Amino acid sequence: MSGWYEQARADWLNNRSAGYLADLFSTALVEDKKDDLPYLSREILDLGDRIPKGLQRLALNVLHDDAEVVSNAKFDLSVKVEKEAVSRYVSRLRKRVVEFPGNAFAWHDLSYMYNLLGEQRKAERAMLVALRVSSSHRVIARSASRFYMHQSDPESASKVLRRAQGFSKDPWLLAAHVAVAQASGEESGQLTVARRLYEQLTNRLQSSELGMALATQEMLLGRNKKAKVIAREASFLPTENALAQGVWLASKLHADIVQKDVVASASLAFEARSWEAYYKGAWAESAKYAIEWLSYEPFSVEPAIHGSFIAATYLRDFHMCLDIANFGLISNPESWGLKNNKVVALASLGKVGDALEEFTRLGMPNEDAANYVVWLATNGLLLYRQGLIEDGRASYAKSSDMIEKRKDRTAALVSTFFQSAEEARLGNMEQAVALVNKAGLKFGGMRADKTMASIFEFDVLNASSKELQQRIEQLRDLQ
């Protein structure tokens, strides 16, 4: 394990590319190379927009005591992503890969940028070249695996990890392999190897993602006690990914896994902070960090779905929901969840014609599909908005019956929110309150007074989300 930094340093000295510098800087952070970090941080800042914004932030954190460096930083660390700027960077990357076709990181960066622009075929071709040039490199392999998961191709995602150099001895690659299998509803064939390696590792930062992956596996197997033990070990010095997984596990295991000060002190833990705020009911805060998470991982569908969901349900801010959904659909044009959230936002904003057009393209899932109840509820909303009240009630009722059978409290809450709001909009206050109370009796924890306040006090809710509007405005640049 001690040779990782030396190898990364040799790779950078031989290539002097932004990709190899990023890998060296990340490895220096992991292995806490205090003597080298200031120098590497300045190298990161000198390259400006050739380096991902997240690493630029980390470099500034390393140099936080050097006021001159920080004040003279020549790049914008806002969440704004300008399409023209991305296109200019793509042009530079294309010239670079022509000049240096063997630069795997240039091809990797080109794939990332194409994905950001929604040009997925070009993104895949660039990633395939990066793999042909350097399929054994850990960073390339992990990025390619994530790319293929983004493309709903878990088989390829798993394959690129197994082909990487040192796969069976690398905790980062094994953690990704276990996670890919879990996301596919399967069990990794490398669990025995992964468990053995995790027990041997002494550097908790290096082992944190593997530990969280193994803890998740124990939970899936019903061994919650063991899952808690491993998760708490892995949260001692976690990466951002491990931190987010720890927060998620805490909600599933109903246990304290990650210390609050660890989440608060993590500079780029936007995903973890968003989920932590969500679980404690701080909706505006959760949305704020969801937008930060989306700006940090603009090609990822998860922050876009999460943020647009919060905006539409708990914040009732449909402009925000629409902006986030549209932003997410650039890189994820086939996301059913994002397209559904867009329909809900359009209908709730009174743009019924546009909503119906989008809803037709959305398509009706099979009745046994998990998202069929969502489709029924959205259909009910559209029927209400067209003045077909009884048909709307019938669609919501069918959705509610299916939700009750599944015992899905969150779905029940959301469905009740929207139908109650439609009844209230029509002046049927008694019907609106009755819906909330009925759902409360079935699922518990839902009181008409608090729930109706969440539905009707739009001014209060919108005031709590006004601080987010500036960030949302910045997402519109890509539309």
pLDDT computed for residue 67 by the predictor: 40
CB 123 within 8 A of CB 115: yes
Region of residue 234 (phi > 0: left; psi between -120 and 50: alpha; otherwise: beta): alpha
pLDDT computed for residue 213 by the predictor: 93
Q: Angle at the Cα of 359 (from 319 to 340), degrees rounded to 5?
A: 55
Return contacts of 430-438, CB within 8 angstroms, 24+ apart.
none
Name residue 459's amino acid: D
Q: Angle at the Cα of 456 (from 451 to 462), degrees rounded to 5?
A: 105
pLDDT computed for residue 380 by the predictor: 95
Query: Tokens at residue 83, please?
Result: 């399409």
Whether the predicted pLDDT of 114 surpasses 90? no
If one compares 160 and 80, the residue with the highest pLDDT of the two is 160
Task: Compute the distance between CA of residue 321 and CA of residue 334 in angstroms, rounded to an integer.
Answer: 17
Query: Tokens at residue 393, please?
Result: 């009630």
Task: Compute the distance between CA of residue 300 and CA of residue 335 in angstroms, rounded to an integer.
Answer: 11
pLDDT computed for residue 308 by the predictor: 94
User: What are the tens digits of pLDDT across the range 375-404?
Assistant: 999 999 999 999 999 999 999 999 988 988
Name residue 71's amino acid: S
For the ranges 26-30, 151-155, 319-323, the lowest mean pLDDT is seen at: 26-30
pLDDT computed for residue 342 by the predictor: 97
Task: Compute the distance between CA of residue 378 and CA of residue 347 in angstroms, rounded to an integer.
Answer: 9
Region of residue 51 (phi > 0: left; psi between -120 and 50: alpha; otherwise: beta): beta
Question: 6: which residues sit within 8 A by CB, 6+ positions away?
Answer: none
pLDDT computed for residue 429 by the predictor: 80
Whether the predicted pLDDT of 476 surpasses 50? no
pLDDT computed for residue 126 by the predictor: 92
Query: What is the secondary structure of 16-52 as a DSSP string?
Result: --HHHHHHHHHHHHHTT-TTTHHHHHHHHHHTGGGS-
pLDDT computed for residue 82 by the predictor: 55
Average pLDDT for residues 332-352, to the nearest whole number? 94
Task: Report percent pLDDT > 70 for the chain.
Answer: 80
pLDDT computed for residue 57 by the predictor: 65
Whether the predicted pLDDT of 461 surpasses 60? no
Name residue 332's amino acid: N
Whether the predicted pLDDT of 368 surpasses 50? yes
CB 76 within 8 A of CB 96: no
CB 167 within 8 A of CB 173: yes
Task: Compute the distance between CA of residue 356 and CA of residue 354 in angstroms, rounded to an integer.
Answer: 6
For the ranges 67-81, 99-113, 216-230, 284-298, the lowest mean pLDDT is seen at: 67-81
CA 21 and chain centroid, separation: 25
Average pLDDT for residues 305-334, to the nearest whole number? 88
Whether the predicted pLDDT of 448 surpasses 50? no
For the ranges 302-316, 333-347, 416-430, the lowest mean pLDDT is seen at: 416-430
If one compares 16 and 145, the residue with the highest pLDDT of the two is 145
CB 76 within 8 A of CB 471: no
Whether the predicted pLDDT of 158 surpasses 70? yes
Query: Tokens at residue 158, please?
Result: 């798993």
pLDDT computed for residue 322 by the predictor: 92
Secondary structure of residue 64 in the 3-state scheme: coil
State the chain's mean pLDDT as an integer: 79
Whether the predicted pLDDT of 467 surpasses 80? no
Query: What is the secondary structure of 330-352 as a DSSP string?
Result: HH-TT-HHHHHHHHHHHHHTT-H
User: What are the tens digits of pLDDT across the range 269-295?
Assistant: 788 888 888 887 788 888 888 888 887
pLDDT computed for residue 94 by the predictor: 87
pLDDT computed for residue 97 by the predictor: 85
pLDDT computed for residue 444 by the predictor: 53
Secondary structure of residue 441 in the 3-state scheme: helix
Q: Is 372 exposed, middle or buried (0-12, 13-18, 19+ CB in 10 A)?
A: middle
CA atoms in the 13 A half-sphere facing the CB of 345: 24
CA atoms in the 13 A half-sphere facing the CB of 169: 6
pLDDT computed for residue 128 by the predictor: 92
| Confidence grade of residue 267 (pLDDT, cut at 50, 70, 90) | low
pLDDT computed for residue 395 by the predictor: 95
Question: 349: which residues sit within 8 A by CB, 6+ positions away?
Answer: 318, 319, 322
CA 455 and chain centroid, separation: 27
Query: Tokens at residue 188, please?
Result: 């990794």
If one compares 221 and 10, the residue with the highest pLDDT of the two is 221
| Confidence grade of residue 265 (pLDDT, cut at 50, 70, 90) | low
Whether the predicted pLDDT of 87 surpasses 50? yes
Find the helix packing angle between 18-30 and 53-62, rounded to 10°.
50
For the ranges 132-141, 170-179, 205-214, the lowest mean pLDDT is seen at: 132-141
If one compares 296 and 391, the residue with the highest pLDDT of the two is 391
If one compares 457 and 444, the residue with the highest pLDDT of the two is 444
Secondary structure of residue 101 in the 3-state scheme: coil
Query: Tokens at residue 414, please?
Result: 């959301």
pLDDT computed for residue 7 by the predictor: 73
If one compares 20 and 274, the residue with the highest pLDDT of the two is 274
Task: Compute the distance between CA of residue 57 and CA of residue 52 in angstroms, rounded to an integer.
Answer: 9
pLDDT computed for residue 4 by the predictor: 65
Whether the predicted pLDDT of 251 surpasses 80? yes
Longest dimension (CA), the chain: 74
CB 319 within 8 A of CB 472: yes
